[in-house]
Amino acid sequence: MEGMNLWQKTATAILRLLMASVLVLTFTSCGEKAVSQEPYGSLLSKAQLSKQISEVSPPATIQELRSALEVYQPQVAIVTPKQDEILQDDTVTVRFQVKDLSIYKDPKLELGPHLHVILDNEPYIAVYNLNDPLVLPDLLPGTHTLRVFASRPWHESFKNEGAYAQTTFHIITKTDDNNPDPTKPLLTYSRPKGSYGAEPILLDFFLTNAPLHLVAKEDPNDDIADWRIRCTINGESFVLDRWQALYLKGFKPGKNWVKLEFLDEQGNPVKNVFNSTVRLITYEPKGKDTLSKIVREELSADQVRSIVDPNYTAKIPAAEPTPTPTLTPTVKETPETQPKEETQPIPEPIPTPTSTPSVEETPQTQPQAEKQPVPESQQVPQIQPEKPKSGGFFNWFQRRADRRIPTPQIPVETAPGLPPTLPEVIETPQAESITEPQPEVTPEAESSPTKEFKIQSSKLRPHG
């Protein structure tokens, strides 16, 4: 019996400890705010949210750049105007203070870490310079609320504690408008906004005074209010149960409208100012802006890394000297080969007249000499020794001389008579002068048929 009592006592003590720990967790969780539920980029496949809209993974360039900003926990504060301040002017000068994040804009890419500033429930104003105050002119008399949070270069909000700030001020007097209830959850619409040149399109919002969703859904009978975000795009609705930036596809070219609503556990809208917001956006594919090129992954992370690191210098210029100028000398060498081809004496095989030693073909070889150009004068000494072999032209002079010699010397002209006659013809300078003006003699020989007749007659006379 005593053993049973000890066992019961220990069991009840363990149960009491468990109940106490659960109560501590529930009470401490009531004051916590909503945080991002899932790691960024955990989506591996498409999730069809409606008939037209589907959720896809973030662009690869954005995922790689986002890791460079994970080390920052920006702390944002509104310096002016003060909370519940009454101003007597309809122009308000707003100043901000940001810690643990550089606020700037890259001059070439026109992107960088910045602030989203929302006056009442108007579309946000992007602030890239903290040195110059933001001026809000022509404000209506009454109550106004400013909301601001830190944003990444691609307009995704930082969701850490302290990244959001809010102030409510009054122009001349207080009114009930634009004054959210601080005891109720508040939804701040961020994206999509304006015009887009590529899909997927970012859907992003900010939550304040919202409990942890995972704790709130554990017990439906507790006092912790659960929440949902209902998103409606072009009339088709779907519900989100996590606070995370989403990338969506399925927008039609032209005008599209997006609506965000904060819902309770039963799916009813939570009545608080700004908890229901509608925006009209424009989608025009093939946009040329930097963000559109990043979304289409036309720009790599290294090419646009300066939008997350102001001290980063792009390595793109280093790729310019890679096209080595080795190609240009190869082009210059080609004309050097051309003169080598010109030096090849292609006209060398042209001196075909040397192969025709016949006497009767001399008038035909002479027009060929006319066709040869002047630079072929170097071949003249080659032709000169061959021409005496053609005895037709020189024998004509010899036979003219033989006519003046007495007839008893005629039989000597046969084979033994040739040696003494050749030196007589070579010694006379007329043989050299005759060879030089060949083109002048040849047309006469061609035009005067009487000379041919005389040559033929001279051949006949010795036999007579």
- Examine the pLDDT at 106 and tell me if it is beyond 50: yes
Average pLDDT over residues 45-62: 90
- Token pair for 235: 């009339």
Q: Spell out the domain ranges in the chain.
A: 39-67+180-318, 72-178
Evaluate if residue 60 carries a pLDDT over 60.
Answer: yes
- Which range (56-60, 196-200, 407-411, 453-457) has the least confidence? 453-457
Backbone angle region of 362, left / alpha / beta, with phi > 0 → left and psi within -120 to 50 → alpha: alpha
Of 3.40.50.1000, 2.60.120.200, 3.40.50.720, 2.60.40.10, the CATH number of 72-178 is: 2.60.40.10
Residue 213 CB contacts under 8 Å (≥ 6 apart), including other chains: 34, 37, 226, 227, 241, 242, 243
Residues in the chain: 464
| Distance, CA of 267 to CA of 230 (rounded, Å) | 9
40 Cα distance to chain centroid: 28
Residue 433 vs residue 187, higher pLDDT: 187
Does 30 score more than 70 pLDDT?
no
Residue pair 243/249 in contact by the 8 Å Cβ criterion: no
Residue 269's CB is within 10 A of a number of other CB atoms, namely 13
| pLDDT tens digits for range 392-443 | 545 554 555 455 545 455 454 444 444 544 444 444 454 444 444 455 444 4
Nearest Cα residue to 35 out of 258, 242, 329, 305: 242
Tell me: the pLDDT tens digits for 235-258?
Answer: 999 999 899 999 999 999 999 999
Token pair listed for 449: 């048929």
What mean pLDDT is predicted for residues 126-150?
97
Considering 146-155, 320-329, 345-354, the range whose residues carry the highest mean pLDDT is 146-155
Band (pLDDT 50/70/90 cuts) for residue 82 is very high
Is the pLDDT at 84 greater than 80, yes or no?
yes
The per-residue pLDDT for 36 is 53
Let me know if domain 39-67+180-318 sits in CATH 3.40.50.300.
Answer: no
Quote the percentage of the chain above a pLDDT of 70.
55
Q: Look over the chain and give the mean of its residue pLDDT values, rounded to a whole number.
A: 75
pLDDT (tens digit per residue) in 268-321: 999 999 999 999 999 999 999 999 999 999 999 999 999 999 999 866 444 555
Can you give the pTM of this predicted structure? 0.61
Alpha-carbon distances, residue 236 vs 43, 157, 240, 293 (angstroms): 22, 25, 14, 28
Assign 41 a pLDDT band (cuts: 50, 70, 90): very low
Predicted confidence at residue 22, as pLDDT, reads: 47
Token code pair at residue 171: 């122009």
Cis geometry, peptide bond prior to residue 192 (ω within 30 degrees of 0): yes
pLDDT of residue 71: 94
Residue 458 pLDDT exceeds 50:
no
